[in-house]
Amino acid sequence: MLCEKCQEREASVFFVEIKNKEKEQHSLCDVCSHQASSYIEKPTFSYSLHDLLNQFLQIITSKAKENIAHEAQGLVCDFCHLSYKDFQQTGRLGCASDYTIFRKFLDPLILNLHGKAKHTGKKPKEAKASLKYIEDEMQLADLQKQLKEAIAEERYEDAALFRDKIMLLERRMHGTR
Amino acid sequence: MELDNLWEQTGEWLKAEGRDVDIVLSSRIRLARNIQGFPFVGRANVEEKKKILEYALQNIKKIKNLKDYIYLELHNLDPNDVYVLFERHLISKEHAGMEGPRGVFFKRDETVSMMMNEEDHLRIQMMHSGFHLAELWEKMDAFDDVLAAYLPYSFHEDYGYLTACPTNLGTGLRVSVMLHLPGLNITQQMDKVHQGLLKHHLMLRGYYGEGTVALGDFFQLSNQKTLGKTEKEIVTTLEHVVPQIIQYERQVRAHMLHQNYSDLLKLLRRAKEGLCRQKSLSTEQTMKHLSAIRLGVHLQLLPINIHKINHLFLFSQPAHLQKKEGRILTTEERDAARALFCKNTIENN
Residues facing residue B134 across a β-bridge: none
Residue B181: predicted pLDDT: 95
Helix and strand numbers, DSSP H then E, in chain B:
13, 10
Work out the minimum CA distance from B87 to partner chain A, whole angstroms.
Answer: 18
Higher pLDDT, residue B21 or A138? B21
Region A41-64: what's the mean pLDDT? 58
Residue B140: predicted pLDDT: 96
SS3 A22: strand
pLDDT of A68 > 70? The answer is: no
Of B114, B211, B112, B123, give the one whose Cα is nearest residue B172: B123
User: Is residue A92 within 8 Å of B44, Cβ to Cβ?
Assistant: no
A46:B194 CB<8 A? no
> pLDDT averaged over chain A?
75
Which residues of chain A have a CB within 8 Å of the CB of B171? Answer: 119, 121-122
User: Is residue B31 within 8 Å of B155, Cβ to Cβ?
Assistant: no
Which site among A34, A46, A90, A109 would you substitute to test the B interface, given the most B Cβ atoms closer than 10 Å to its Cβ?
A46
Residue A60: predicted pLDDT: 60
A46:B38 CB<8 A? no
Residue A39: predicted pLDDT: 41
Among chain B residues, the shortest Cα distance to A125 is held by B148
Residue A43: predicted pLDDT: 38
How many Å apart are CA A16 and CA B42, to the nearest integer?
26
Q: Chunked in runs of 10, what are the mean pLDDT values of chain B (349 residues)? A: 70 82 95 96 96 95 85 95 94 94 94 97 96 96 91 93 96 96 92 90 76 76 95 97 97 94 95 93 93 95 91 92 93 96 87
Angle at B292 between CA B289 and CA B297, to 5 degrees: 120
Which residues of chain A have a CB within 8 Å of the CB of B226? Answer: 114
* A107-128 residue pLDDT tens: 999 999 999 899 999 998 654 4
Return all residues near B85 (Cβ < 8 A) that are at least 6 apart. Answer: B3, B72, B74, B91, B96, B104
Whole-Å CA distances, B93 to A49, B85, B86, B87, B97: 15, 10, 6, 9, 6
How many Å apart are CA B173 and CA B157, to the nearest integer?
17
B39:A80 CB<8 A? yes
Option in A106, A110, A121 nearest B230 (CB) = A121
Within A19-155, residue ranges assigned H as helices are 30-35, 49-63, 65-73, 84-90, 98-101, 103-114, 124-152
Helix and strand numbers, DSSP H then E, in chain A:
8, 2
Angle between helices B331-347 and B261-276 in degrees, nearest 10: 120
How many Å apart are CA B287 and CA B180, to the nearest integer?
11
Option in B142, B210, B213 nearest A49 (CB) = B210
* Interface A:B, Cβ pairs < 8 A: 166
User: Is residue B133 within 8 Å of B235, Cβ to Cβ?
Assistant: yes
**Model ipTM value:** 0.87
User: Is residue A57 within 8 Å of A14, Cβ to Cβ?
Assistant: no
State how beta strands B155-156 and B218-223 pair: unpaired
How many Å apart are CA B217 and CA B29, to the nearest integer?
21
Region A128-141: what's the mean pLDDT? 66
Work out the number of other CB atoms within 10 angstroms of the CB of residue B322. 19
Within chain B, residue ranges assigned H as helices are 2-6, 46-60, 79-87, 93-97, 133-150, 182-186, 190-198, 231-259, 261-276, 283-298, 306-315, 318-325, 331-347
Burial of residue B196 (number of CB atoms within 10 Å: 0-12, 13-18, 19+): middle
Of B188, B113, B64, give the one whose Cα is nearest residue A135: B64
Return all residues near B340 (Cβ < 8 A) that are at least 6 apart. Answer: none
Work out the number of other CB atoms within 10 angstroms of the CB of residue B240. 10
